[in-house]
Amino acid sequence: MTSSAGYGEEMTTRILSIGTAVPSARLRQDQVRDLFAGQPGANRLTQRLIGAAFNASAIETRHTVLEDLAAAAAATALPAVEAADDERMPTVTDTGDLLAPSTGARNDAYIRLAPPLFAEAARKALSAASVDAADVTHVVTVSCTGMFAPGPDYRLVRDLGLPTTVARSHLGFMGCAAAVPALRTAFQICAAHPDAVVLVVCGELCSLHVRTPADHDEIVSASVFADGAAAAVVSADASRVTGPSFELDRFATVLTDEGEKDMAWTIGDSGFEMILSAEVPRIIGREIRGAVDSFLGDEGVDTWAVHPGGRSVLDRVETGLDLPADALTVSRDILRDYGNMSSATILFILGALLAGDLDDGERVATLAFGPGLTLEAARLTFRREAA
């Protein structure tokens, strides 16, 4: 494997707060399983594969911006809306058959529906950190489920009333691991600008790319991916610490020796297409020990924050690192309640840990996996109060 050097700490840069947001429409896993298995053309083999994937996912609920999909899965009528406000992208017919909108239609829905979710998560994070919008100096946004320009970074300035002088960066199409590079970018900004207040926001509308599941990749994608957004306020200004925080200690990137074709994210004519082969958990299981050892060395870890790409990924990490059975409880809880929200998911996990009962000084290993196959890692230290 090939590893990049981690970044040393010259000052204490912290995650001051984390805010999360999900759409109001919720999918129950058993209901959406039955909806997909009942699609026209789904033969018995496909139905069995759908049933197996959904039943083994360890997911109970997920959220989606597609209200008609959620209504069809629950076999309920779509809520009435004013015609002028009805900008939904049709996803299912009146009889529950999945439609196949063009990539353009899906992306148009992203342009309408993603910015409010970015803004909601950001407002929650700023409020939790007691940071005014006027104090934000830098914005780093992340997404791989849609694109437009001016993009989510620009919209946050307008929607939150941030200073028009805010320096903006956007990390696109880096997949599920992208929140860690975003935090690394914030860390680097704070190293160069000690007074900086960086707003990091990840937002993903994975469900916009839902399709009738036919092959393995589509079935797995349909069974795990969901919508959500999460934001973090990052700063090295010690005077801004008002409560529990995470110190950002260092980062590392590891490319596995194989997997370039096993996890990929491409643009098709009917939405973005996820390639997620059955080899992904096995590759992670084989290489996770070497990757983590090269990153952590002889230093111990008290708590693990691992991106739940799926239940099998968590199982392989747990086995590969010889972790106790409860080590990934928070990751499994987020997977159960929200599914895989791509880049936003690891911030949901860190948010739960930040609001939890960690002891001061606990060391947190953060691991996320993305296309390539790439491991993005961060070592954090929990602080109950300001130093």
The model's pLDDT over 337-375, given as tens digits with 9 standing for 90+, comes to 999 999 999 999 999 999 999 999 999 999 999 888 899
pLDDT at residue 199 above 60?
yes
The percentage of the chain sitting over the pLDDT mark of 90, rounded to a whole number, equals 75
Residue with tokens 């010690």: 238
What is the structure's pLDDT at 368?
96
Strands 197-205 vs 138-143: parallel, antiparallel or unpaired: parallel
285: pLDDT confidence band, cut at 50, 70 and 90? confident
Q: C-alpha distances in angstroms, 349 versus 30, 103, 221, 299?
A: 24, 31, 21, 22
Q: C-alpha distances in angstroms, 85 versus 111, 126, 158, 253?
A: 15, 29, 21, 44
Q: Which residues on neighbouring strands pair with residue 379, listed in sequence order?
A: 250, 365
What beta strand segments (E) does 117-188 contain?
138-143, 167-172
pLDDT digits (tens, 9 = 90+) for 316-342: 999 999 999 999 999 999 999 999 999
290 vs 108, which has greater pLDDT? Answer: 108
Strands 25-28 vs 61-64: parallel, antiparallel or unpaired: antiparallel
192: pLDDT confidence band, cut at 50, 70 and 90? very high
Residue with tokens 């300001």: 386
Q: How far is CA 10 from the centre of its chain?
A: 29
Q: Which two tokens stand for residue 360?
A: 């001061």
pLDDT at residue 2 above 80?
no
Rounded distance between C-alpha atoms, residue 183 and residue 231, angstroms: 10
Reduce the DSSP state of residue 301 to 3 states and report it.
coil
10: pLDDT confidence band, cut at 50, 70 and 90? low
* Fold of the 245-383 domain: Peroxisomal Thiolase; Chain A, domain 1 (3.40.47)
Rounded distance between C-alpha atoms, residue 77 and residue 368, angstroms: 38
What is the structure's pLDDT at 8?
44
Strands 13-21 vs 25-28: parallel, antiparallel or unpaired: unpaired
Lowest mean pLDDT across 196-205, 214-223, 232-241: 214-223
Give 214's DSSP letter: -
What is the structure's pLDDT at 216?
81
Q: Are 65 and 55 in contact (CB under 8 A)?
A: no
The catalytic residues are 176
Lowest mean pLDDT across 22-31, 76-85, 111-120, 372-381: 76-85
327 vs 295, which has greater pLDDT? Answer: 327
In this structure, which amino acid lies at residue 136? V
What is the structure's pLDDT at 266?
87
pLDDT at residue 5 above 60?
no
96 vs 335, which has greater pLDDT? Answer: 335
CA angle 58, 202, 16 (to 5 degrees): 100
Q: Which two tokens stand for residue 31?
A: 């209901």
pLDDT at residue 84 above 50?
no
pLDDT digits (tens, 9 = 90+) for 226-272: 999 999 999 999 999 999 999 999 999 998 878 777 787 789 998 99
Non-local CB neighbours of 258 within 8 Å, separated by 6+ positions = 279, 283, 373
pLDDT at residue 81 above 50?
no
The mean pLDDT of 107-126, rounded to a whole number, is 98
Judge if 14-240 and 245-383 fold alike in CATH terms.
Answer: yes
Of 237, 17, 225, 23, give the one whose Cα is nearest residue 122.
Answer: 17
What is the structure's pLDDT at 218?
86
Q: Which two tokens stand for residue 111?
A: 């342009």
In this structure, which amino acid lies at residue 23? P
Show the DSSP H helices in 226-278 as ranges: none
Q: Are 141 and 169 in contact (CB under 8 A)?
A: yes
What is the rounded average pLDDT for all residues in the chain? 91
Reduce the DSSP state of residue 371 to 3 states and report it.
coil
Phi, psi of 343, rounded to the nearest 5 degrees: -60, -30
* Fold of the 14-240 domain: Peroxisomal Thiolase; Chain A, domain 1 (3.40.47)
What is the structure's pLDDT at 77?
58
**Structural domain boundaries in the chain:** 14-240, 245-383
